């Protein structure tokens, strides 16, 4: 079966198995958005709108008149709702986005980042959430917020970067590659929605991305890494012009080919209760979307 057909089949079979809005849904819907952007196939656009409208109805959080019910967990849907607004220009989606920004800003202001090298579970848990919320926050600031909080956003990235690449860590000690991959995903998706008008901020994040990628490529990533987030980050960085395609595209393509050969059967994940599995599934789909949209 062709890759695109496998992906469509996955979405057709995907069911919301949570009792509340979830990280899993946020990941899967983002990958569906990426496929629509890559193919312009209405199947993907309609899936997102139908799924979200049904979800909002079932969870009694229909945006119209109910935005006061939105909670921090709903931020997982921020980027999807922002995309839905851009596509439809319906005020109900913009209103939902505005409501989601309020608890997100409050959380960021109070957040104490605990990302210690070697504490893999805690680190991954933080970066899963950070990935799906950070680029939403930056995109909102770019489109609606007049970029007023760019400096705060950069400071948070600098803090996480310093923790990941702690100067006290012995050179012989390896940063967990899973952490690096999630960090690369977050950086490239943030760069994708950040305005270059404030060039020093954009350039700072670009340098962080290249530093993290250099660490990843110097490791034994082909043997020890899951590679789905890295494949996506590398291919998207090439498409964005952050990396030279002539130098890096083949690496992302090689990683994606390996993933497709070994992990394309997504159906086993339909009943999975592992959030990381859904993020990896989403990353494979998004990597494929970047591959077929090569500029």
Residue 88: per-residue pLDDT: 95
Distance CA 222, CA 217 (A): 9
Residue 170: per-residue pLDDT: 39
125-167: per-residue pLDDT in tens? 778 778 878 889 999 999 987 888 888 889 889 888 888 887 5
CB count in 10 Å sphere of residue 41? 13
Q: Which domain holds residue 214?
A: 3-292
List, for the chain, all residue ranges whose pLDDT scores fall below the cut of 50: 19, 60-70, 112-122, 168-173
Handedness of CA 242, 28, 84, 49 (dihedral sign): positive
Handedness of CA 235, 240, 242, 244 (dihedral sign): positive
Residue 272: per-residue pLDDT: 54
Flag whether the pTM goes above 0.85. Answer: yes
Residue 118: per-residue pLDDT: 38
CB count in 10 Å sphere of residue 63? 22
What length does the chain have?
A: 295
CA-closest candidate to residue 70, choices 61, 79, 83: 61
- What string of DSSP letters covers 140-163? HHHHTSTTTTHHHHHHHHHHHHHH
Residue 62: per-residue pLDDT: 45
CB count in 10 Å sphere of residue 103? 15
Report the CATH number at residue 54.
1.50.10.10
Domain count within the chain: 1
Distance CA 112, CA 135 (A): 19
CA-closest candidate to residue 254, choices 234, 237, 268, 269: 234
């Amino acid at each position: 079966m062709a890759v695109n057909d496998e992906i469509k089949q996955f979405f057709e079979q995907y069911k919301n198995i949570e009792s509340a809005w979830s990280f899993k849904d946020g990941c899967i819907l983002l990958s569906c958005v990426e496929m629509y952007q890559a193919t312009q196939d209405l199947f993907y656009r309609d899936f997102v709108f139908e799924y979200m409208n049904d979800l909002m109805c079932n969870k009694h959080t229909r945006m119209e008149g109910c935005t006061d019910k939105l909670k921090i967990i709903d931020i997982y849907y921020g980027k999807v709702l922002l995309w839905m607004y851009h596509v439809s220009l319906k005020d109900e989606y913009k209103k939902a986005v505005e409501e989601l920004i309020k608890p997100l800003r409050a959380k960021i202001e109070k957040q104490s980042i605990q990302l210690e090298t070697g504490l893999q579970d805690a680190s991954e848990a933080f970066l899963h959430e950070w990935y799906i919320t950070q680029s939403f926050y930056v995109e909102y600031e770019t489109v609606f917020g007049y970029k007023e909080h760019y400096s705060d956003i950069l400071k948070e990235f600098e803090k996480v970067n310093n923790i990941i690449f702690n100067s006290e860590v012995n050179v012989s000690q390896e940063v967990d590659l899973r952490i690096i991959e999630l960090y690369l995903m977050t950086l490239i998706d943030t760069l994708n929605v950040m305005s270059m008008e404030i060039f020093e901020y954009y350039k700072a994040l670009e340098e962080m991305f290249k530093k993290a990628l250099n660490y990843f490529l110097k490791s034994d990533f082909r043997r020890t890494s899951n590679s789905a987030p890295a494949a996506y980050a590398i291919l998207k960085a090439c498409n964005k012009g952050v990396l030279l395609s002539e130098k890096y595209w083949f690496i992302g393509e090689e990683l994606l080919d390996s993933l497709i050969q070994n992990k394309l059967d997504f159906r086993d994940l339909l009943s999975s209760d592992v959030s990381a599995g859904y993020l990896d599934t989403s990353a494979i789909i998004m990597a494929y979307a970047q591959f077929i949209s090569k500029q």
